[in-house]
C-alpha cells in the first residue's frame, strides 16, 4: 500500500465537491487530471471497467456514475470580413460528457487504473481510507475506540488544511511562524504545554505525530480547537501573525476552561493509546481488502 503524503491527499481533496445533502462527489474529468491521464478516451476505458465492476457487485451503475453534460469553450478561427486579410479567434462552445462520481465509483476507478502510475496507488489508499471512514462515521457512537479515533483523525486532517490556509492568509507564512502558531493553540488547550512538551510526556519517538497518539476524546477536543480557530481567523479578518497566535491561544484556552467547568478530564491527563492512527489505518485497509462483502456505500 502506497504511503499517502499531504500533497497527494490535498490533490484528491481539492477536487471533492459536497452536495447540499452533505454527500461527497467527484467529477470524472477532474479526477482524470489528478490521476495523470492526458487523453479522455484512455481514461474512459478505465471508467468502463469500473462501471462493469460496479454492475457485477450488484449495484446500480447510474447511482454511482451519473452521466452529465458540460459546455466548454472551444476557440476556433474564422475569416475576417471581406476585404480584410487573415483570421480572428472565435470562442465557440460544445457539449462534452462527464460523470458525477460517488466515493465508491472513484474507488472502483483507481482499482481499475494503470498500476504503473504511482498516483493510482496513492488514489487507492485515499479512497480506501475515505470509504472506510464513511462506513464507520454513520454509526459513530456504536464504534469501538480505535474506529472512533480513525474517524476523528480523518476530520482533523481536513480541518488542519483549512486552518493552515486561514493562518497563511492571516500572515503566518514561514515554517517558524507556523510552529509558533501551532504551539499557541496547544499551550492554550494543554495548560501551557508546547508540542515538544506533549511529545515528551507521551513518550513518543522523534518522527511520531502527537495527533496520531491521542484517544478519541482528546482528538475531539483538538478538532474543536482547530475548527473554531479557523472560523475566528476568517470572521475577525485577522491579518498579522501575532494576532493569529493570540486568537489560537484564546480559542484553545476557552475550550480548556469549559472542560474545567464541566469537570471533565483535561487533555494532558488523558491516556495515550498504544496503537498509532497509522497502524489502525493499515489494519482497517487490510480488513477492507480481505472482506468478501461489497463496500458499504454513501446513499
Q: Mind listing the pLDDT tens digit for each residue in 163-197?
A: 999 999 999 999 999 999 999 999 999 999 999 99
Q: What is the pLDDT at residue 1?
A: 43
Separation CA 237–CA 227 (nearest Å): 16
Mean pLDDT of 9-29: 85
pTM (two decimals): 0.56
Mean pLDDT of 89-108: 84
Higher-confidence residue: 39 or 59? Answer: 39
The candidate with the shortest Cα–Cα distance to 280, out of 152, 192, 178, is 152
**Range from 18-32, 145-159, 243-257 carrying the lowest mean pLDDT:** 145-159
Separation CA 184–CA 251 (nearest Å): 10
Give per-residue pLDDT as tens, 256-277. Answer: 999 998 999 999 999 999 999 9
Residues 6+ apart with CB under 8 A from 38: none
Q: What is the pLDDT at residue 237?
A: 93
Contact 103, 263 (CB under 8 A): no
Q: What is the pLDDT at residue 90?
A: 55
Contact 193, 256 (CB under 8 A): no
Separation CA 229–CA 249 (nearest Å): 9
Mean pLDDT of 228-252: 95
When computed from its CA atoms, the radius of gyration of the chain, rounded to whole angstroms, is: 24
**Average pLDDT of the residues of the chain:** 85
CB < 8 Å & 24+ apart, contacts of 232-238: 233/163, 233/166, 233/167, 233/169, 233/170, 234/166, 234/169, 238/170, 238/171
Q: What is the pLDDT at residue 29?
A: 95
Assign 69 to helix, strand or coil. strand
Amino acid at each position: 500500500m502506497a504511503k499517502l503524503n499531504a500533497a497527494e491527499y490535498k490533490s484528491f481533496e481539492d477536487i471533492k465537491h459536497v452536495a447540499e445533502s452533505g454527500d461527497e462527489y467527484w467529477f470524472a474529468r477532474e479526477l482524470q487530471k489528478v490521476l495523470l491521464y492526458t487523453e479522455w478516451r484512455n481514461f474512459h476505458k478505465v471508467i468502463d471497467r469500473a462501471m462493469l465492476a460496479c454492475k457485477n457487485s450488484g449495484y446500480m451503475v447510474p447511482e454511482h456514475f451519473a452521466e452529465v453534460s458540460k459546455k466548454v469553450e472551444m476557440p476556433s478561427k474564422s475569416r475576417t470580413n471581406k476585404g480584410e486579410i487573415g483570421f480572428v479567434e472565435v470562442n465557440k462552445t460544445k457539449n462534452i460528457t462527464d460523470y458525477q462520481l460517488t466515493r465508491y465509483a472513484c474507488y472502483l476507478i483507481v482499482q481499475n487504473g494503470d498500476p504503473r502510475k504511482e498516483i493510482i496507488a496513492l488514489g487507492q489508499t485515499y479512497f480506501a481510507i475515505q470509504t472506510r471512514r464513511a462506513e464507520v462515521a454513520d454509526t459513530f457512537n456504536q464504534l469501538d475506540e480505535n474506529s472512533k479515533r480513525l474517524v476523528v483523525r480523518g476530520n482533523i486532517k481536513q480541518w488542519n488544511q483549512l486552518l493552515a490556509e486561514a493562518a497563511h492568509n492571516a500572515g503566518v507564512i514561514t515554517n517558524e511562524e507556523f510552529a509558533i502558531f501551532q504551539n499557541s493553540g496547544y499551550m492554550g488547550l494543554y495548560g501551557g504545554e508546547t508540542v515538544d512538551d506533549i511529545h515528551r510526556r507521551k513518550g513518543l519517538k522523534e518522527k511520531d505525530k502527537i495527533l496520531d497518539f491521542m484517544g478519541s476524546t482528546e482528538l475531539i477536543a483538538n478538532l474543536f480547537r482547530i475548527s473554531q480557530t479557523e472560523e475566528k481567523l476568517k470572521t475577525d479578518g485577522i491579518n498579522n501573525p501575532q494576532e493569529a497566535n493570540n486568537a489560537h491561544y484564546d480559542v484553545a484556552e476557552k475550550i480548556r476552561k469549559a472542560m474545567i467547568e464541566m469537570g471533565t478530564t483535561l487533555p494532558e491527563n488523558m491516556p495515550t493509546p498504544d496503537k498509532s492512527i497509522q497502524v489502525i489505518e493499515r489494519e482497517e485497509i487490510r480488513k477492507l481488502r480481505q472482506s468478501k462483502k461489497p463496500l458499504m456505500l454513501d446513499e
